[in-house]
């Protein structure tokens, strides 16, 4: 436990803290303990086992103090597809559940974030709508290879690429040669390439007729699509030394190769998502396209193996991959899984869904915070986020971990009220949230900040 040097006596220079939060259980990096957290100028200035001087908020007996959740995989879609989601609705949904930082994906907005101009447009649109802090990923597409440095220097946290068609015409995928070129460039910049890893050849070889049968959809995107693409990334990382991150791992069949790559010391990290950890193929009714995402939700044994990989540290972090569309697109074509929009909106339900399942499996809350707060912050180098420690931003949540609620899709703050978690009984209620030390009201005037990688250096 770290504390500022104790003020000498109670003289004029012993400045009180702007605010003090006290809980019997404060989730510090080293584990939960009773503590007083002193906040000054939006930053955690002291963490103490004894009371601190300042206006003090006592958390309830059933509440614990945790760092705000950091979700590094969110598709806000504004501008251009603002009817799918927007900065105000997305960040209000985030605030309502204790997510205090999101990093926005370079698609499906128009423009996609593949040029400096596009980044400026997105920052301008987000500026007065960000209820929580917002940062940006750039995109690596065939058209901008060779000029990634300008986006990197402008403060994006890394570059997303697809190895198979993205579903959006204006965001092309990289073929194997282009992937290698991107990794060379990423290595030179000491940047981070984040990869949607499905192999187009495997997908082409497994085309199925459309229809409402979910099994047929899973067969059209088999494990081999992921393992083939991930092997290509591993080989490229070994050749270049570039840092790469596997997005939304669905197939547990890829876990052994990822474990081996990590054991070899390759700079590869891995994420999975709440829907892969809490929903199984067996749970998906025919035609229920609210469950469609790519790669797909697989069977129950696969889900267990993903939890094992998390527990073993092969999977590093959990993010929502919040990827909404309009309800019309999501339910178009009468429940045809091949033709409905693929993407699950989970920003407001993700943390509670993962905590509920972790709790059921006997995994403690501090593991979940590592996966969804400190680990995600570290992934993008936001070392002032995701931890309750002196010098960190005072982004904090009073969480009632055992309190429960039922998800009603219609009541979520997502712009489109479609949820694969509708009807679920989840644990973990964010009773109060603080952003930069100030109580955060999701409905108040937005005062979140725009984050830029350069500012962190
Ligand atoms: Zn995504």
In the chain the first and final C-alpha atoms are separated, in Å, by: 25
Q: Tokens 């791992």 — which residue?
A: 249
Residues 193 and 236 sit within 8 Å (Cβ to Cβ): no
Q: Is pLDDT above 80 for 187?
A: yes
Ligand 1 midpoint to CA 173 (Å): 14
Ligand 1 midpoint to CA 370 (Å): 21
Length of the chain: 457
Ligand 1 midpoint to CA 160 (Å): 9
Ligand 1 midpoint to CA 321 (Å): 5
d(Cα 40, Cα 54) in Å, to the nearest integer? 10
Ligand 1 midpoint to CA 317 (Å): 14
Residues 46 and 361 sit within 8 Å (Cβ to Cβ): no
Q: What are phi and psi of 325, to 5 degrees?
A: -140, -175
Ligand 1 midpoint to CA 411 (Å): 23
Ligand 1 midpoint to CA 73 (Å): 6
Ligand 1 midpoint to CA 278 (Å): 18
Ligand 1 midpoint to CA 320 (Å): 8
Ligand 1 midpoint to CA 323 (Å): 6
> What digits encode the pLDDT tens for the residues 147-183?
999 999 999 999 999 999 998 899 999 999 999 999 9
Q: How confident is the model at residue 26 (pLDDT cuts 50, 70, 90)?
A: very high
- Which residues are in the CB-under-5-Å shell of ion ligand 1? 321, 323
Average pLDDT over residues 71-81: 96
Quick one: pLDDT at residue 254? 98
Give the chain's mean pLDDT: 94
Nearest to 338, CA basis, from 276, 292, 275, 285:
292
Residue 32: HSE in the Cβ half-sphere, 13 Å Cα cutoff: 14
> What digits encode the pLDDT tens for the residues 377-393?
999 999 999 999 999 99
Ligand 1 midpoint to CA 322 (Å): 7
**What's the token pair of residue 231?**
């092997």
pTM (two decimals): 0.95
Q: Which residues have a Cβ under 8 Å from the Cβ of 292 and sit 6 or more positions away?
A: 217, 330, 337, 340, 341, 342, 343, 344
Quick one: pLDDT at residue 457? 42
Percent of the chain past pLDDT 70, that is, above it, reads 96
Q: How confident is the model at residue 454 (pLDDT cuts 50, 70, 90)?
A: low
Ligand 1 midpoint to CA 63 (Å): 32
Nearest to 388, CA basis, from 111, 11, 59, 10:
59
Average pLDDT over residues 40-58: 97
Quick one: pLDDT at residue 387? 98
d(Cα 328, Cα 305) in Å, to the nearest integer? 34
> What digits encode the pLDDT tens for the residues 325-365?
888 888 888 999 999 999 999 999 999 999 999 999 999 99
Ligand 1 midpoint to CA 197 (Å): 11
Bridge partners (DSSP) listed for residue 426: 405
Ligand 1 midpoint to CA 52 (Å): 43
**Chain CA centroid to CA 299, Å:** 23
Ligand 1 midpoint to CA 31 (Å): 31
> What digits encode the pLDDT tens for the residues 191-230?
999 999 999 999 999 999 889 999 999 999 999 999 999 9
The better pLDDT of the pair 39, 418 is held by 39
Ligand 1 midpoint to CA 12 (Å): 53
Q: Is pLDDT above 60 for 9?
A: no
Ligand 1 midpoint to CA 234 (Å): 20
> What digits encode the pLDDT tens for the residues 95-115?
999 999 999 999 999 999 999
């Amino acid at each position: 436990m770290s504390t500022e040097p104790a003020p000498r006596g109670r003289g004029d220079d012993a400045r009180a803290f702007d605010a003090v939060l006290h809980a019997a259980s404060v989730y510090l990096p080293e584990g939960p303990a009773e503590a007083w957290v002193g906040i000054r100028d939006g930053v955690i200035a002291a963490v103490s086992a004894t009371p601190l001087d300042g206006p003090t908020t006592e958390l309830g007996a059933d509440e614990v103090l945790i760092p705000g959740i950091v979700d590094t995989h969110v598709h806000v879609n504004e501008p251009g597809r603002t009817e799918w989601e927007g900065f105000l609705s997305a960040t209000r949904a985030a605030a309502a559940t204790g997510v205090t930082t999101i990093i926005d994906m370079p698609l499906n907005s128009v423009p996609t974030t593949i040029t400096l101009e596009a980044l400026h447009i997105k920052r301008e649109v987000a500026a007065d709508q960000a209820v929580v802090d917002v940062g940006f990923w750039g995109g690596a597409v065939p058209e901008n290879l060779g000029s990634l440095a300008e986006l990197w220097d402008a403060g994006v946290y890394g570059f997303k690429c697809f190895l198979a068609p993205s579903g959006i015409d204006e965001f092309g995928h990289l073929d194997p040669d282009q992937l290698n070129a991107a990794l060379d460039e990423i290595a030179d910049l000491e940047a981070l390439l984040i990869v949607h890893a499905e192999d187009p050849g495997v997908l082409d070889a497994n085309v199925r007729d459309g229809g409402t049968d979910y099994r047929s959809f899973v067969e059209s995107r088999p494990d081999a699509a992921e393992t083939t693409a991930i092997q290509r990334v591993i080989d490229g990382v070994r050749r270049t030394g570039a840092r790469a991150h596997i997005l939304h791992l669905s197939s547990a069949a890829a876990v052994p190769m990822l474990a081996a790559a990590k054991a070899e010391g390759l700079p590869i990290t891995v994420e999975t998502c709440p829907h892969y950890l809490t929903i199984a193929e067996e749970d998906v009714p025919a035609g229920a396209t609210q469950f469609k995402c790519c790669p797909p939700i697989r069977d129950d044994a696969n889900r267990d193996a993903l939890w094992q990989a998390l527990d073993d540290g092969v999977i590093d972090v959990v993010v929502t991959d919040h990827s909404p569309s309009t309800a019309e697109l999501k339910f178009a074509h009468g429940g045809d899984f091949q033709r409905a929009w693929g993407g699950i909106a989970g920003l407001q339900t993700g943390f509670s869904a993962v905590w509920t399942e972790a709790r059921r499996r006997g995994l403690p809350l501090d593991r979940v915070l590592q996966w969804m707060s400190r680990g995600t912050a570290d992934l993008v180098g936001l070392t002032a986020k995701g931890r309750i420690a002196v010098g960190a931003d005072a982004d904090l949540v009073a969480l009632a971990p055992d309190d429960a609620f039922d998800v009603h899709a219609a009541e979520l703050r997502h712009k489109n009220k479609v949820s694969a978690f509708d009807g679920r009984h989840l644990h973990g209620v964010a009773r109060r949230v603080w952003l930069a030390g100030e109580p955060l009201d999701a409905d108040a005037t937005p005062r979140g900040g725009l984050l830029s990688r350069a500012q962190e250096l």
